[in-house]
Every structure is written in structure tokens, then in C-alpha cells.
Structure 1
Amino acid sequence: MVLGVDPQARRISLGLKQIEANPWHQLADTYPIGSKLTGKVRNLTEFGAFVEVEEGIDGLIHISDMSWSKRLKHPSEVLKKGDEVETMVLNVDPDNQRLSLGLKQLATDIWDEFFENNQVGSIVEGKVMRITNFGAFVELAEGIEGLIHVSEFDDKGGQEKVELKVDEVTSMKIIKLSPEERKIGLSIRALKSDNYEADWDSYGEGAGGGSGSSQVTLGDHFKDQS
């Protein structure tokens, strides 16, 4: 194809690629959104990894699309140059020659799995990761955290607050689940309340039957539980 003519210099500029189909214009048909493809990692940057999917076509796996659970500081924590990697096509932009790929989309979303296996009222165990002035964030599984609001600490009759410490492992009850926001509300107070009610019911059953049961006091019962 003739690209330009310079009569004074007696030069004609020709182009070969211009008569060939632009591979980017065919990309959306070749790799529709949601399809899987395998490519080789060509380069790593702070914001992601460039993957060659075919000659002349590179796609980008953004660092935020590499893992559901890990908070990556650099793509090298997951990938290295030369790796063969299977990815999912997230977006194709032929005009700007951009191909967005995802790695974590091929794995199970750990948040979805957690919400499927737990419900409000479930008793869970977790490790305190950090404490703020409004509550404590607890790791329930790798990459999944819930919040114990200060109002949901065990107040022991209003006289004393539980003092949680970072790295402490504790049990609590799920009182709120928000899959859309990926938020989990937790409570130690609700768990303690359940234990108290169970003790109360147990006391009622013990006091209601058999001779001599009238001699057992509520204080005696809870003293035995300590």
C-alpha cells in the first residue's frame, strides 16, 4: 500500500502491514470476554504482568486480578518472567489495543465460599489482626476478615470490657453477613449471652425435678460451672 509520495526526493513510502488485517480488530471474536487463554509472562511491573497471548498481542493481568486472598505488593509474589499462565479474558479494547486478563477469576472466590458455608448465628473462631477505636478486625480465614464492633464486646454486666489483643485467637458469633459489601459482623457478647441462657436452662431443669433439688441455688449452679 502506498503511504506517501515525495516528488522532490523521488521517494515513495510503502506499507506492508496496512494490507493485512489488524489482529486487534479480530481479538474480540478470537478471545471473547470470559474465555480462557494461555500465554507467557513477558514483563512484570509494579501494577501487573504483561502476558504474550500471540505474536504482537500482549494482555495485562492487573495486580488486583491476581489473588482473592493475598494483598500483593508486587506481581512477582505470584508470577515470574517466562511463566506459562492460564488466564481469563476480562475486557478487550481494540481501539486502544488493550487486553485485560484475570488470574484470580479462574479460582474459587473465597468470600463466596465463606458465605455459602456460614450463616448468621454460626459460631466461628478467628485471630485478632488489628484493633481500632471502634472495634477489632478478626481473620476468619486467609484473606477474610470480620469486625467485632466495640458494642459487641462482652461487657460482663456493664462493669468491664473485654480487652482483646493482636494475635489472640477467640470465638465469636456471626451477627451480620453482607455478601455484596463483603462485610462480616461478629459478636463476643452474643456468644456469651447464648452460654448464659444455656446455663439458665440447665439450672431450670435441675431445679425442677427430684427430691432435695430445692436446696440448690442459682449461685451454687454457676459456681459449679466456673
Structure 2
Amino acid sequence: MVGPSENPELWAFLKSLRYGDILRGTVAAIEPFGVFVALDDGPDHPVFPGVGFIGIPELSWRRFEAASDVVRVGQRVSCAFLQFDTWNAEARLSLRATQPDPFQIFADGIAVGQELQGRVTKLVPFGVFVQVAEAIEGLVHLRELTCTPVDAPEDVVQVGEDVTVVVTEIDRECRRLFLSRRQSPSGLR
């Protein structure tokens, strides 16, 4: 789109960046696919509102509906540099990389076999999601809902219902928490 011959200053700036560099700037535009950031250092982009771009997954560790729930136009941000997108001649950035991961903090304080209290947040054909802490949800697979087999999660629980569950697996790398209701001594009450 914007080649090195059309804008050598921009390309030299982007090539100088290294993974993990912290870049500061101002949110220039919010789009459904991500956020443009006008960086403090470096040149302007000839096409986009900013040289920096934060994709939706890199905005926050927490679940959100729209990018505007996380940032607003004009807001100052510090982001980690991920990569030089040579197609768009932009710096791919991560806002969440500059913030502690709540899943890892939560995982530090729990163990497999531990009983937790939670609230059912979503029913899916293969089980239910249970929120066990702020911004932390785990999956209770259908086979782990009750001691007897069931065909659908709504036969057993409803969204908003409080449940007791046991931690069966903590996958730190994929940020997944697996839970069981049937293994909990008090979970089926």
C-alpha cells in the first residue's frame, strides 16, 4: 500500500522498532476492526489516522463489546510494539501487553481440586461458562455438570444461577480454566 520508495522516513522508523518497545501516542480513530494511534515519535502516516494500530484482541485482557468501551479518541496510551505490518506500513501495537494479565494473577491463587463459587454466564451446546472472579470465566463441560448424563445444559442450570464448582485444569498458556460441578461435594445442591 505504502512502499519504502514512497515514504522512506516512515519505513525507516518502522524498521527501527523492536518487539516489546513501548510506544506512546494518542488514540486518533476507533474503527470496528481496531484503533489507530498517532505516535509521539516518528512520522505521520500518509493514509491512516495514525502509524500505530491496535487490533481488537490486543486492546484488553477483559471482555468488552466495542473498542470504545476500552479507549476513546484523544486518549493518551502507552503500547507495546508487536510487529511492523509491511502491507499497511504501520506499527502493530498491544495495549493489553502493558497491563497485568488477570488470568495469570488469578491462576497464581488457585489449585486443581479447589472449590470455587461462581455464576453461570453462558450456556453452549457442550457445557456452561461460569464466572468465578472478575473477568475470569471457566468452562464446565456438559459431562461435568451432573453425576447423570444430560442432553443440554439448560436441563440443569440457567444463566445467572449461582453454582459451586471444582477446578479440574488450569491452562496458563491458553488462558483457560476447566471446572466441574459434579466433582464438587456441595456443587449439586
The answer to whether 1:169 aligns with 2:162 is: yes
Q: Tell me how far apart the structure 2 counterparts of residues 96 and 46 of structure 1 sit (CA, whole Å).
A: 17
Give secondary structure in 2 for the equivalent of 1:190.
Answer: coil
Specify which of 151, 171, 178 is matched with residue 185 of structure 1.
178
Name the amino acid aligned to 1:56.
D
> Which residue pairs with 1:117 in the alignment?
109
CA displacement, residues 71-116 of structure 1 (integer Å, 9 cap, x when unaligned): 33x3222222221111111112457522111101111112222222
What TM-score, normalized by structure 1, do the two folds share? 0.66
Higher helix share: 1
Alignment of 1:11-90 (within 5 A): 22-29=9-16, 31-53=17-39, 54-57=42-45, 58-72=51-65, 74-90=66-82
Name the amino acid aligned to 2:14.
L
Does the 8 Å CA contact 1:25/1:94 hold for their aligned counterparts? no
Q: Tell me how far apart the structure 2 counterparts of residues 96 and 135 of structure 1 sit (CA, whole Å).
A: 41
Unaligned segments of structure 1, at least 5 residues:
1-17, 195-226
Give secondary structure in 2 for the equivalent of 1:138.
Answer: strand
Cα 1:193–1:41, aligned 2, differ >3 Å: closer, same or farther? closer
Give secondary structure in 1 for the equivalent of 2:184.
Answer: helix
Name the amino acid aligned to 2:78.
E
Name the structure, 1 or 2, with higher relative contact order (CA <8 Å, separation 6+).
Answer: 2
What TM-score, normalized by structure 2, do the two folds share? 0.78
Unaligned segments of structure 2, at least 5 residues:
46-50
Q: How many residue pairs align between the two structures?
A: 173
Greater CA drift, 158-167 or 168-177:
158-167
Could you say what the CA RMSD is over the residues aligned between the two structures, in angstroms? 2.9
Q: Tell me how far apart the structure 2 counterparts of residues 131 and 96 of structure 1 sit (CA, whole Å).
A: 39
Alignment of 1:98-109 (within 5 A): 98-109=90-101
Give secondary structure in 2 for the equivalent of 1:22.
Answer: helix
